[in-house]
Amino acid sequence: MGEMTIKKENLMLEENTKRLRRWCEMIHAPAWFFEELKLPKNVYQMKIRPTIRGEKAPMPAWRVHDINPHPKGSYPYKGGLRFHPQVTQELLQVLARDMTYKCAWVNIPFGGAKGGVPVDPSECTEAELRDITEQFTVELANHNCLHAHKDVPGPDMGVNERVMYWMLNKAGDIDTGSPPYQALTGKPVENGGLPGREEATARGGLDALEKYLQLTSMFPQKPALAIQGFGNVGENLARLAHSQEYGYPIVAVSDKKGGIYAEKGLDIPAVRAWFRQNQTLAGFSQAAAISNEELLLLPVDVLMPAALENQITERNASKIQAKLIVELANEAVTPAAYDILASRGIPALPGIVMNPGGVVGSFLEWSRNLGTMAHNVETEQIYEETKRKLRAIMQAPMVKLCERSRAAGWSLDDTAHVIVFEILQEKLRKRHGYKNTCQ
């Protein structure tokens, strides 16, 4: 199983690199630019030895720095930490690239990074998970990956604010060169975290969707959504989309074991209450049970994959019936699937456009932590300010995306990456002193 996973992730990196070359060719980039984007700046492979079921269990851990196009020492690398059994170095390299692109897309001055440990948190006791977290924290600090102006990790899949609190607490035992609360994001609000950070990826995706629908007039009324995934992003997405603030009908949701579907719309508060009580969507009696694969093929207005990578692929892209795809999970749509969807005339908003809300929230948290710590009486005021800034930042690039895509006849995915690559090429040329000559 492990060998198969490694081969799959190697293929994913290879396909991602082919796509990278395609976008370089679309902007007639000089040869140096492709080489800059192809290779990560640093890949730190580590080993930790947590105690699992009473015995030491050596396991690998990684932190990948993709590229940082900003002046040295001014702005750090930024990207989440993932605890998931399918974490590999190759997957983290792809996700770190995506972080570079996302930061450029929303004009956030960070370099892309990603890190993780191949472990399933749901199979660990609290003591085991804390041991993994604390040992990983020490290793990150040893590799200078915990510093407010060099590398600022945050949460990703399998990591929540409890894990970030453990990291913050452990980092206090280590001299990292900057206060620990400045070198981590996604912390609990009472420990320097940002009100609204936990929901930022989901909220940012909805804000971007609202702008796209406004610009395109694609649907005469609020479209119905199907959401794959019920983790941090998926559950917050369902909660917010269903709320009076956004007002979308939701006809399907799913977790890793399967999903539920109701053509006339789900009672999301009841669904969330069931999930909290049972830790699964299975058995919810007010909707029909469906598989994750069936959810992807439903005849819905908007399909929002918000779970794992490689969900819409060349195997099922030709069967997709949704009118619009919104990629909330990193790499949920494969390169081949994007091409198939484009050939079928189904618009697909890519992850680098739809899910930077998390890194925007992290930027706002990091920026605030570099100044003064907020008092809890300011929580509501800061939350409203976070929502306002997040909405503005997520919606700002959408006009350019729609106009450029329409004018050039390119897919939304190609257009977004072309825009990002043009931004990165100019920044890297200035940073490293390259001549701006084309191939």
Active site members: 114
User: CA-CA distance, 8 to 209, in Å (whole number)?
Assistant: 31
User: CA-CA distance, 73 to 81, in Å (whole number)?
Assistant: 22
- Tell me which residue has tokens 């189904």: 346
- In the chain, what is the greatest distance between 2 CA atoms, to the nearest angstrom? 64
**Three-class DSSP labels, 46-82:** EEECCEECCEECCEEEEEEECCCCCCCCCCCEEEEEE
* DSSP E strands, 283-431: 288-290, 302-305, 324-326, 348-349
- Of 278, 285, 176, 288, the C-alpha closest to 226 is 288
For residue 251, the surrounding DSSP H or E stretch is strand 250-255
Kindly state the DSSP code that residue 314 receives in the 8-state scheme. T
For residue 43, the surrounding DSSP H or E stretch is strand 42-48
- Tell me which residue has tokens 């702008």: 211
In sequence order, which residues have a C-beta less than 8 Å from that of residue 196 and are 6 or more positions away?
A: 203, 361, 382, 383, 386, 387, 390
Structure tokens at 221: 């009324």
User: CA-CA distance, 89 to 308, in Å (whole number)?
Assistant: 16
Phi first, then psi: give them for residue 50, nearest 5 degrees: -70, 160
**Three-class DSSP labels, 71-114:** CCCCCCEEEEEEECCCCCHHHHHHHHHHHHHHHHHCCCCCEEEE
